[in-house]
Amino acid sequence: MNPFLDYECFECNAKLALYLARLRHSSAPEAVRLASRLVEGFARAAYSALDDYVELSARIVDHIAATLGDPYAEVRRASMEVARRLLPLAEAFVEGSEDRLWGAVSVAVAGNALDFATGVYSVSLESFSEGFAGKLREPFGIDHTARLRERLEGARTVLYVLDNAGECVLDLPLVRLLSERADVVVAARGGPVFNDATIEEARGAGLGDYAELVTTGCRLPGVSARRCSREFLDLLAGSDLVILKGQGNYQSFYEVERVRRKPTFYLLVPKCRPVARHLGVEVGSKVALERSAG
């Protein structure tokens, strides 16, 4: 059964449809008609894949792409600009931390709040920029950074799976630090999906200076054992350490665990109650979680 299914998921999808429609149309009648077309496709996806979050998400993404193409292109560009302006603050926070690894994890997790893809959660670029410093100082709801340090001691290879554009700029301090201790591969989405980072945004963030850049091989805001490329799944299974960013990747945990039995960490800010409840934290909490397979 879909571990994240809740009544509010319907509301989330309806709000997502209207958000996407308003990106395309300023006229209320046109936006409502387009939103209705999107909701119709979302309903078909729910009828066919309600028990599997990852497959349901994939079918929703396919419907959006068939209907609208890539509606988030401008949002990705703008979020990259905001994150670049915040990077000096983020790097100063890491360098000023007694524990640089903890500081870099905090920056990466706080960056996950820069997200535009969900219906119930919304953030403006301006408000994110104003609140970023405060987010860095917030305590963690779950903090397994000490476990991450222990796992990193014996790791030769690290796979780091990105989430959002913009956010990936704020992943740079952590990826740089990881690269001092192991060989790092950074994986972006296999194509434009929501506000998620593609390999173009990963390059633009400078991550290629510290890691090999690859893609998951599929246009999906998460991980799928059926849809991701064989090359990515081999990396996922074989890397000594894997770090996955964001809520969509966390909601894929059961797909990750179909192919992986080694240490796996999830860095995120939960955006909705079903995910927060599954984690046992409040919505908006900073989470650095090691999850064991099985």
All structural domains of the chain, each given as residue ranges with its CATH number in brackets, are 8-68 (no CATH), 73-290 (3.40.50.10880)
> Tens of pLDDT along 25-47?
889 999 999 999 999 999 999 99
Tokens standing for residue 91: 């790097």
**Under 8 Å between Cβ of 257 and 88:** no
Q: What share of the chain is helix, strand, coil (3-state, %, to 5)?
A: 55, 15, 30
Instruction: Provide the CA 248 distance to its chain's centre, in angstroms.
Output: 5
Nearest to 204 by CA among 169, 234, 231: 169
Average pLDDT in the 172-181 region? 98
The per-residue pLDDT for 132 is 86
For residues 80 and 168, give the distance between their C-alpha atoms in angstroms, rounded to a whole number.
Answer: 8
pTM more than 0.75: yes
The per-residue pLDDT for 133 is 85
| pLDDT of 169 above 70 | yes
Band of the pLDDT at 9, cuts 50, 70, 90? confident
Average pLDDT in the 210-221 region? 97
Considering all CA atoms of the chain, what is the largest pairwise distance in Å, rounded to the nearest integer? 59
The per-residue pLDDT for 23 is 85
Average pLDDT across the chain, whole number: 92
The per-residue pLDDT for 2 is 85
> Count of alpha carbons within 13 Å of 26, Cβ hemisphere only?
0
| pLDDT of 1 above 70 | no
Burial of 183 (0-12, 13-18, 19+ CB in 10 A): middle
